[in-house]
Structure 1
Amino acid sequence: MAIKINEDGVFSGYASIFGKIDQGGDIVVRGAFSHSLKKRGVANIRMLFQHDPKEPIGLWHSIRETDLGLKVIGQINDNVGRGRELISLIRDGGIDGLSIGFRTVRASTKSRATARRLYEIDLWEISIVTFPMLDIARIAAPQLAQNIKQATKLLTSTQ
């Protein structure tokens, strides 16, 4: 198993992947985070555990949109009890989900039967979670992005 977190609690992953439908019926569109990231900056987007505002667990070093999705690099604070636990759980593969907390600014749907497309969202936190709404939003070894790109190409070429 590839190590997903270093000895200082630093990890990376994707908190959102563009164009993929989540369990709530939402699809985040490329560019949806750009205004929020400019407005808030990394320092004003919190790292929480399970979306609980009483459980801050670290700081984000980098949050940016790539061609794939919302790439994050963060550091869990090992001076916090929950932080020590999470570092251990991530190392052992017990938890690796990422999930975004946001307010919808601009979205659309064609009908109730289709997914809601999120064109602009106000991002206020990203959580480490047990079960992410978007199953592929994960803390991951560096090659996750390449694997997702390859899988997406395979899926689209066979359709």
Structure 2
Amino acid sequence: MQFKDAGLSLAHSAPVLQIKALKDDGEFEGYGSTFGGEPDSYGDVVAPGAFAESLASHKAAGTMPKLFWQHQRDEPIGKWVEAFEDEKGLFMRGRLNMDVQRAREAHSLLKNGDIDGLSIGYRIKEYKVDTETGVWTLEKLDLKEVSVVSIGANENARITSVKAFKAAHQLTDKLKAGDRLTEREFETWLKGLGFSNSEAERAARVCLKGQGEPAAADDGLAFLLALKG
């Protein structure tokens, strides 16, 4: 879940199934994201305070994140009227535009429990990556929109590729410095270069000769040159 822009950094979280207080006039509220806990389906954990700067910027500019249907920028379905962080996460209160057909459809689906998700669209400004677990801790986010969604949709692969690209860049710097990579880091590096999960795992085993030894920079680069023929 997308609107890829410069920097390959716009993504969205997994749906947080906590829409509540739906009213007949289209007003509703819920959590667009929750803090801490187990990583979501994309391997992310959002840190408390991640939205603070962005929300302050919106307030200063007199703006709010957009309210879209399924992250589609050409399908606004209302507006957010309140957004703040509490101890649980990003709390949102919005109002569907009942003069818009898609908003009326969303209202009906929400009312009947056919969909019940909110999902955020944001730019990553600060983050940490645990290369051993693959978990991303998102520390500062520029909040662009919060959508009503059914499922996390088609952006999974793209989000994965964006994250892998960034992680690979960090690991490339590590290789250039002459440091060794663990097997997990080497797999992450290959994925960032466009290898599929299975290809990266197989390549790591071949390169490391199944011995569980870390890959040296020269070994990794030589392996890629060999693959290119």
**TM over 0.5, shorter chain:** yes
Native 8 Å contact 2:55 2:143 kept in 1: yes
**1:6 aligned residue (20, 23, 31):** 23
**Correspondence 1:52 to 2:69:** no
**Unpaired runs of at least 5, structure 2:** 1-19, 154-229
Counterpart code for 1:59: K
Shift of residue 40 of structure 1? 1.8
**Correspondence 1:17 to 2:72:** no
Percent identity between matched residues is 38
Shift of residue 112 of structure 1? 4.7
**2:147 aligned residue (120, 123, 127):** 127
What is the correspondence of 1:147-158 to structure 2 with a 5 Å cutoff? none
> 58-67 or 105-114: which moved more?
105-114
- Please report the TM-score for the alignment, with normalisation by the length of structure 2: 0.55
Q: Deviations over 1:107-126 (max 9, x none)?
A: 00131523100000000000
Shift of residue 52 of structure 1? 0.4
Q: Which residue of 2 aligns with 1:31?
A: 49
Distance in 2, Cα, partners of 1:89 & 1:46: 20
Bigger CA radius of gyration: 2
How many residues align structurally? 131
Higher strand fraction: Structure 1 or Structure 2?
Answer: 1
Q: Which residue of 1 aligns with 2:133?
A: 113
**Unpaired runs of at least 5, structure 1:** 134-159
Runs of 4+ in 1 over 6 A off after TM superposition: none
RMSD (Å) for aligned C-alpha atoms: 1.6
Point out which structure has higher relative CO (alpha carbons under 8 A, 6+ apart).
Answer: 1
Higher helix fraction: Structure 1 or Structure 2?
Answer: 2
Distance in 2, Cα, partners of 1:33 & 1:90: 26
